[in-house]
Structure 1
Amino acid sequence: MTWIYLILAGLCEVWWATAMKLSDGFHQIGWSIITIIGMIASFAGLIIASKHLPIGIAYPVWTGIGAVGSVIVGVVLFHDQMNWLT
């Protein structure tokens, strides 16, 4: 169950990062609220997971899911360009 919390927390990282992009610099109140809820959910999941996993494992997994997920969302949803040569 601990790993499930950690994976969900990582997915919440993607959630809030995506919502923050959609908030247009926190000018869109709805997306801004969704961003803050995602941040709270993400940290809560990390806190729960780190009670049973070493922080040296939990934190890199959490940030890794968030980083990779955010790149995927950027490429797929926002059509961000990835240039592998530069």
Structure 2
Amino acid sequence: MAWVLVIVAGLFEVAMALSLKASRGFTQVLPSIGFVLFALISFGLLNLALTKLDVGTAYAVWVGVGAVGTAVLGMLFMGDQVSAGRIAALALIVAGVVGLNLAGGGAH
């Protein structure tokens, strides 16, 4: 269950980052409010998960989900640059997160 919390927290991190972009420097009210709410939910869920998981691995998974999710959605829907190098770098992030889990950074 703790890993589900980390992954859901990472998805809220994606929503937080996209809201931050949409807030245009906190000049747009609804995206700014969304940013704050998504941040609170994301950090709250991560906090709950850390009661059962190693901090380093859980944080890496949270950041990885957030980074990869944000980058992919940015490329698909926000006009961010798409290149083989960027896709390869995202694949390396995923490989690193999987590697940390396989190396035994799970629950304690």
Identify the TM-score tier after normalising by the shorter chain: over 0.9
In the aligned structure 2, how far is the partner of 1:38 from the partner of 1:85?
30
Query: Amino acid of the residue matched to residue 57 of structure 2?
Result: I
Alpha carbons of structure 1 residues 60 and 30: separation in structure 2 relative to 1, 3 Å: same
Equivalent pairs counted in the alignment come to 86
Query: Amino acid of the residue matched to residue 48 of structure 2?
Result: I
Unaligned runs of 5+ in 1: none
Corresponding position of 1:30: 30
TM-score w.r.t. the length of structure 2 is 0.75
In the aligned structure 1, how far is the partner of 2:16 from the partner of 2:8?
12
Q: Share of identical aligned residues, percent?
A: 40
In the aligned structure 1, how far is the partner of 2:85 from the partner of 2:61?
27
Larger radius of gyration: 2
Unaligned runs of 5+ in 2: 87-108
Corresponding position of 1:82: 82
Question: How well do the aligned residues superpose, as a CA RMSD in angstroms?
Answer: 1.4
Post-superposition, which runs of at least 4 consecutive aligned residues in structure 1 deviate over 6 A?
A: none
Q: Identify the structure with bigger relative contact order (alpha carbons < 8 Å, sequence gap 6+).
A: 1
* Paired residue secondary structure (1:27): coil
User: How far 1:84 sits from its partner (Å)?
Assistant: 4.1
In the aligned structure 2, how far is the partner of 1:56 from the partner of 1:21?
27
TM-score w.r.t. the length of structure 1 is 0.93
